[in-house]
Amino acid sequence: MSYTEREILLIEDSPDDSELIQRALSSVPHKHTIAWVKDGQEALDYIFCEGPFSSRSPDQKPCLILLDLKLPKVTGLEVLEKIKSNSSTRTIPVVVISSSKEPKDLDKAYELGVNSYVLKPINYKDFMRATEQIGMYWLLVDEKVKSP
């Protein structure tokens, strides 16, 4: 899959947050699909076409990854490190969407190469607005993602 096919990979263990993120992204006026995985190991399997995702082509890369940090099995920071340390995936934009305000998480995410770090707002309307803005920026403004 090329960047032009606009697949967003959502790595989020909370079904409620996943539903809200997907709903907010549906308002972005650009065609895209969303693949949702629920833990860090499933994310790595998906990205690197292993395990249950071994039939996926390594050329099928998402145009954007939305990553929660607090994940079961493999943490979000470990997922980020593997993405950004691999030559075939390091250029995929990764946006952390997390409730963690810990300076060590923020610093480590940027040290590992995250493209953006967004705190999950607690208020529903703020959460929806922030997520929609993420989608608008990465799908409509950022040249890397929007260019064919």
Q: Supply the range of the domain harboring residue 21.
A: 3-140
Give per-residue pLDDT as tens, 71-123: 999 999 999 999 999 999 999 999 999 988 899 999 999 999 999 999 887 88
Number of domains within the chain? 1
Q: Number of C-alpha atoms within 13 angstroms, CB side, residue 5?
A: 10
Enter the pTM of the model: 0.88
Long-range contacts of 48-57 (CB under 8 A, 24+ apart): 48/82, 48/86, 48/89, 57/1
Give per-residue pLDDT as tens, 48-62: 999 999 999 988 899
Q: Does the residue 90 lie in any domain? A: yes
Q: Does the residue 145 lie in any domain? A: no
What residues are paired with 96 via a beta bridge?
A: 67, 117
Q: What is the CATH number of the domain that holds 115?
A: 3.40.50.2300
